Structure 1
Amino acid sequence: MDTVLAIVIVLATVLAMEGVAWSSHKYIMHGFGWGWHRDHHERHDRFFEKNDLYALVGAAMSISMFALGSPLIMGAQAWWPGTWIGLGVLFYGVIYTLVHDGLVHQRWFRYVPNRGYAKRLVQAHKLHHATQGKEGGVSFGFVFARDPAVLKQELKAQRERGIAVLREAVE
């Protein structure tokens, strides 16, 4: 039973991390943390971006959970779910790195999907990058992608209301 519970905690954490990523992307990275995130939305020829510092934040979250769950560090005060939560955060980080940095931005490998969910994910994230600056925008998640047609309509409505400035017409 402990193994099943540990697996459930890891999987629940991976799913929950998409919510954490979405909200931190929308309200932190496109808010007061724009200084770190800005270069991710600008063309450049550097391998690393200031935006990569957010990976260190995720790593710190994972390491903190591992520490809270470790009897070697916490002794009798160890919180056993911490280890499994830390593992879930770590797995989400790996998924994020492969999907967002690897597939969408092609930092690690060159593959352009032409169908299925991978294509939808790439399209949704490209629509996220269709705006200039930190205002407005769509598709703040990293792993779950909404229908690109719906996202295009949301961008069009944002432009009409003066919320978002688009890089190019997305109609």
Structure 2
Amino acid sequence: MNIVLWLIIFLATFSAMEFMAWFTHKYVMHGFLWSLHKDHHKKDHNSWWERNDLFFVFYAAVSMYFFMSDISFGIAIGAGIAAYGLAYFLVHDIFIHQRFKLFRKADGWYAKAIRRAHKMHHKHLGKEHGECFGMLLPPIKYFKKYLS
């Protein structure tokens, strides 16, 4: 197997997952599957597990499918999805929502922009009028304040 091509497919898949996260969040989570996502927008949580976590389970299953398939470069695709899932978990669940008390003191320009964009997303408790649906690449306007 050509390692360069494998890395290109892995990185392309990882990058495409940011679009998939944005699309799924905007049109599925805040759309027809709002019933699974709305508990994530509540201020108080009774459990560590949210119905919203089922989206993570879905993408983990998609990743496993590619790992186990006979598709050419399936492992590279599965690894790209899994790596994005890990990045999403670290940024969203640990860094932003503090499910585990780690990375609390991170305050660089990127960390501040990510936190601010996500805070603006959670400003809206309902499924309408949302903004900032991506995760790793928030809109430029959230960086401007910290880079000037």
Look up the match of 1:38: 38
Look up the match of 1:65: 66
- The offset of 1:130, in angstroms, is 0.6
Q: Which consecutive unaligned segments of at least 5 residues does structure 1 have?
A: 69-77, 151-171
Whole-angstrom distance in 2 between the partners of 1:66 and 1:50: 26
Alpha-carbon distance change, 112 to 30 in structure 1, aligned in 2, over 3 angstroms: farther
Whole-angstrom distance in 2 between the partners of 1:15 and 1:117: 17
CA contact (8 A) 2:110 2:143 kept: no
Moved >4 Å (runs of 4+): none
Number of equivalenced pairs: 141
Aligned counterpart for 2:142 among listed residues 148, 151, 161: 148
Q: 1:52 aligned to 2:45?
A: no
Which of 1 and 2 has greater Rg?
Answer: 1
Whole-angstrom distance in 1 between the partners of 2:133 and 2:105: 21
Look up the match of 2:123: 130
- The offset of 1:112, in angstroms, is 4.4
Whole-angstrom distance in 1 between the partners of 2:41 and 2:81: 25
The percentage of counterpart residues that share the same residue type is: 43
Whole-angstrom distance in 1 between the partners of 2:27 and 2:87: 22
The more displaced of 97-106 and 113-122 is 113-122
Alpha-carbon RMSD across the aligned residues, in angstroms, is 1.6
CA contact (8 A) 2:113 2:143 kept: no
CA contact (8 A) 1:128 1:139 kept: yes
- The offset of 1:115, in angstroms, is 3.1
User: 1:114-129 to 2 correspondence within 5 Å?
Assistant: 114-129=107-122
CA contact (8 A) 1:13 1:88 kept: yes
Look up the match of 1:101: 93
Q: 1:15 aligned to 2:15?
A: yes
Whole-angstrom distance in 2 between the partners of 1:80 and 1:149: 39
Whole-angstrom distance in 1 between the partners of 2:106 and 2:71: 42
Q: Deviations over 1:148-170 (max 9, x none)?
A: 389xxxxxxxxxxxxxxxxxxxx
Q: Which consecutive unaligned segments of at least 5 residues does structure 2 have?
A: none
* Bigger relative contact order (CA 8 A; separation at least 6): 2
| 1:8 partner letter | I
